[in-house]
Chain A
């Protein structure tokens, strides 16, 4: 069964550095998401991406964050200047999408644990 994949599994960086988290959604999916989970807290929505543009972003997703789908398979989350509080597990998710009124499972990747020192 196809799965969402994410790389790296663990990223350690210094405060102020840029990081790029990579995701490969399931190939025929249309909607892409990033979520994050700070240790011991809720999984939080960051951003959704559809038709090559952001369709919704949370207040967490400030100017330091950006997303891109540079080709037909990858979906990336960039944090320009990392802060200590960006340390979290970042999950990518994707959904098939099947027309108006339909609900489809969001498939999650295994996550990237980002540690900012």
Chain B
């Protein structure tokens, strides 16, 4: 089955610096790659996603890149702020039987990002 590796497990940056989190996946059939942010004690929330037919996507200070050939994708956060501190999870997904939007997410282990003021 799919395996997703995520690095680093912890990342500490100064406010205003950039943060980069990297993930690799194993199954070339994976075609959708969401990133979730989870603040302490709260639910995971989608912050950005990318589909396999796109190489890069940006939303304000957050960007994601995908290299299908190398099977890796990365999250980039620029101008980090203390409120960016959280655990970030990458995921790769494969569409399931039933079509439509039925797919299962395989998650990385998460990266604890700390932004120091």
Interface members, chain B 94-113 (any A CB < 8 Å)? 96-110
Flag whether A30 is at the interface (Cβ < 8 A).
Answer: yes
Contact of A110 among B43, B49, B104, B107 (CB under 8 A): B43
Q: Are A45 and B106 touching (Cβ within 8 A)?
A: yes
Flag whether A56 is at the interface (Cβ < 8 A).
Answer: yes
Number of interface residues of B (CB under 8 A): 27
- Give Cα A115–Cα B1 distance, bound, in whole angstroms: 28
Flag whether B68 is at the interface (Cβ < 8 A).
Answer: no
- Give Cα A96–Cα B36 distance, bound, in whole angstroms: 17
Contact of A99 among B51, B100, B106 (CB under 8 A): B100
Q: Mark A79-117, 1 if CB is under 8 A from B, else 0.
A: 000000000000100011111101111111111000000
Interface members, chain A 27-61 (any B CB < 8 Å)? 30-31, 33, 35, 41-45, 48, 50-51, 55-56
Q: Are B89 and A43 touching (Cβ within 8 A)?
A: yes
CB distance from B2 to the nearest CB of A (A): 9
CB-nearest residue of chain A relative to B3?
A: A42
Q: Are B102 and A45 touching (Cβ within 8 A)?
A: no
Residues of B with C-beta under 8 A to A4: 43
CB distance from A77 to the nearest CB of B (A): 15
Q: Are A31 and B44 touching (Cβ within 8 A)?
A: no
CB-nearest residue of chain B relative to A56?
A: B96
- Give Cα A109–Cα B45 distance, bound, in whole angstroms: 9
CB distance from B45 to the nearest CB of A (A): 7
Residues of A with C-beta under 8 A to B100: 30-31, 97-100, 102
Q: Are A42 and B43 touching (Cβ within 8 A)?
A: no
B residues sitting closer than 8 Å to A (CB atoms) are 4, 32, 34, 36, 42-46, 49, 51, 89, 96-110
The 8 closest A-B pairs by CB, nearest first: A104-B101, A43-B107, A97-B101, A55-B98, A50-B98, A45-B104, A108-B43, A56-B96
Other A-B pairs, 17, CB within 8 Å; known A42-B110, A56-B97: A30-B100, A33-B104, A41-B109, A45-B105, A45-B106, A48-B96, A50-B98, A55-B97, A55-B102, A91-B44, A95-B101, A99-B100, A100-B99, A106-B46, A108-B44, A110-B43, A111-B43
